[in-house]
Structure 1
Amino acid sequence: MANGSTLPRRALGRQLRKLRDRAGLTQTAASRVAEISPQSYGRIEDGRQTKVTDLGLNALANAYKATDEERQLLLDLAREIRIATASGGSWWRGYTDAIASGFDHYLSLEESASWVTSWQTTVIPGLLQTREYRRAIDWSLNPNAATEDVERKLDVITRRQDLLDQPGFRFEALLSEAVIRYQIGGAAVMADQLQHLIERTELSGVEIRIVPFAEADPVGLLAKSFVLISFPPLSSSRLQEPPVAYTELLTGDLYMERGPELDRYAQEAERIRHVAWSESASRDAMLRVHKELK
């Protein structure tokens, strides 16, 4: 699986932050050393797309009193970013008009992932949605949207789902029973969506498990929906990037990458797995609801 430029950018940002903290310098001071704006330097440490040169990295390494090994790691990561960038832009660059502001960052993380765990309490996760199911959601959110705009958004969903066929990619969907019982788009649309879920369980890298209504422990319902994204080692440096927890809020998206926050989401996912039905029992439940809708 290709990591793209997202993972080496994140790794470079983490290494620079570590060295800067050790040197006791502020981001503003570091930006002066690299001869870029404080905003641009902040984006580098955040792992966002910003041009960084070997000259600037060498200047930062000098200011941070980096060892030869630390300096070489910075330069190796920068080279990996350039190689990944030169190989071509990510597929969603052609769909910027159909992607919500800021969601390209999520797509870049998702594309770089080796394992995604999605806990959902109300809707099917995007990687498993049918076009008709997603169309019903989009029309509900924006009933005045032009048909061509909605179709462009649906194309993005379809392209995202190519990940499920990538070797080495694993998708774990943990769903509240409400997700498979809400009749979004009507009975026919939901029946087709459930049939799609049942077919997806036949893929080796897809696991779908349901938390039943009868479960007395409200675990997961209190945490609300979230996604955990884990990554493979970088191809050249073999650095292991830490996971990211993501949650979609009404007023914006929230990404958590710090240890304590991340640990809480990882622990919550484990608790949800503990109360969820097995894969086979979850499949049986989807078959039952599918039969009720036909």
Structure 2
Amino acid sequence: MAGSSLPRRAAGRVLRDYRIRAGKGQLVAGLHIELSPQSIGRMEDGRKIKISTSQIRDLLDFYGVGHPSKERDELLALWEEVKLQDQAAKLQGTTKGWWRSYSDQFASHFDHYLNLESAANKLTTHQLSLIPGLLQTSEYRRALTTAADPQLSAVDVERRLELAARRRLVLDKEGFHVKALLSESVLRQRPGAPTIMDAQLRHLNAVAERDNVTIRVVPFSAPAPIGLVVRSFALLEFPPLASRLVEPPVVYVDGYEGALYLEQSEVIDRHRRAIIELEQVALSGAATRDLVWSIAKEHTA
């Protein structure tokens, strides 16, 4: 969990709920404990700010979360979890996520995604055109990188490949599971030479042999292709915190000019229903492997 913002994000979400319930704005909340409204917003977003436990207690008083109360005790216990995690990360020299050393190689919004990915224990992704990042080979990633920015220096290309390789290590994390629902078009798109796609598809079948990876293809012949409506997305889910709070899932939607992080319960429910519908029309694991092998051969025929 080094570098993870999960307990902090949970604490921020709870504090936001208390503030809204109390009818207070971020400005007055910040003034009450001598912080800027921007700092209150960052804290509620699960980002690290300088704030003491006594200021947290003052905020709870201001929001009418009295003492003694179960709500107050739970939030303060969660805040202790945040502090313990910060202390552990400091001792390990991991107060920042490892990916921050590559921050010049990705869009600013992707920092939050990498934080969530490192904390998640389950990732379900639906893709219409690209192999999911965690399942990409280095050469496939290289082809995508140079296609997106042909003027990128060789040094920057290699650093981006290093970032991608380090991301893939999450597949070895205990308890981490990936489910990929891929449109058949993902298998047929060529970001580079045919040999690159052939190797990528062979890798896809190899990684599907892992116990914690499920790959299923939604063929062109599938009825009612709901994937064309919901488009590409990733659903990230998280393990329970030590305080037994359950952190809500996040739907991540990436775009050319930015990304969306969606947490509303109705949005999560819609995407869960879409996953169920996609699974109903997707090929089985065995049939998927057969199709992947067949298309891999087509790329080099």
Compare 163-172 and 46-55 and name the one that shifted more: 46-55
SS of residue paired to 1:222: helix
Q: Hey, what does 1:61 align to over in structure 2?
A: 60
Compare 187-196 and 83-92 and name the one that shifted more: 83-92
Whether the 8 Å CA contact 2:4–2:97 is kept in 1: the answer is: no
Q: Hey, what does 2:258 align to over in structure 1?
A: 252
- Mapped pair 1:227 → 2:252: no
Whether the 8 Å CA contact 1:5–1:81 is kept in 2: the answer is: no
Deviation of residue 291 (structure 1)?
2.2
Q: Hey, what does 1:262 align to over in structure 2?
A: 268
Runs of 4+, deviation exceeding 4 Å = none
Alignment counterpart, residue 204 of structure 1, candidates 204, 211, 220: 211
Q: Hey, what does 1:187 align to over in structure 2?
A: 194
Structure 1: any 5+ residue segments left out of the alignment? none
Deviation of residue 50 (structure 1)?
2.1
SS of residue paired to 1:208: strand
In structure 1, C-alpha distance between the alignment counterparts of 2:204 and 2:136, rounded to whole Å: 8
In structure 1, C-alpha distance between the alignment counterparts of 2:170 and 2:43, rounded to whole Å: 27
In structure 2, C-alpha distance between the alignment counterparts of 1:167 and 1:44, rounded to whole Å: 29
Whether the 8 Å CA contact 2:134–2:168 is kept in 1: the answer is: yes
Q: Hey, what does 1:176 align to over in structure 2?
A: 183
Closer, same or farther: CA 133–127 of 1 in aligned 2, 3 Å = same
SS of residue paired to 2:229: coil
Deviation of residue 3 (structure 1)?
6.9
Q: Hey, what does 1:243 align to over in structure 2?
A: 249
Amino acid at match of 1:78: W
Q: Hey, what does 1:278 align to over in structure 2?
A: 284
Report the count of equivalent residues.
Answer: 292
SS of residue paired to 2:247: coil
Q: Hey, what does 1:76 align to over in structure 2?
A: 77
Q: Deviations over 1:30-61 (max 9, x none)?
A: 11122100011011112122232101101101
Alignment counterpart, residue 142 of structure 1, candidates 142, 145, 149: 149
- Mapped pair 1:291 → 2:294: no
In structure 1, C-alpha distance between the alignment counterparts of 2:4 and 2:200, rounded to whole Å: 34
Alignment counterpart, residue 155 of structure 1, candidates 147, 152, 162: 162
Amino acid at match of 2:7: P
In structure 2, C-alpha distance between the alignment counterparts of 1:155 and 1:84, rounded to whole Å: 27
SS of residue paired to 1:24: coil
Identity rate of aligned residues, in percent?
45
In structure 2, C-alpha distance between the alignment counterparts of 1:255 and 1:22, rounded to whole Å: 23
Alignment counterpart, residue 106 of structure 1, candidates 102, 105, 113: 113
In structure 1, C-alpha distance between the alignment counterparts of 2:28 and 2:11, rounded to whole Å: 18
SS of residue paired to 2:123: strand
TM norm structure 2: 0.93
Deviation of residue 4 (structure 1)?
4.7
Q: Deviations over 1:59-114 (max 9, x none)?
A: 10111121433223232222222222332232112212222212110000011001
Whether the 8 Å CA contact 1:138–1:150 is kept in 2: the answer is: yes
Compare 151-160 and 2-11 and name the one that shifted more: 2-11
Amino acid at match of 2:240: P
TM norm structure 1: 0.95
In structure 1, C-alpha distance between the alignment counterparts of 2:158 and 2:213, rounded to whole Å: 26
In structure 2, C-alpha distance between the alignment counterparts of 1:247 and 1:36, rounded to whole Å: 32
SS of residue paired to 1:122: coil
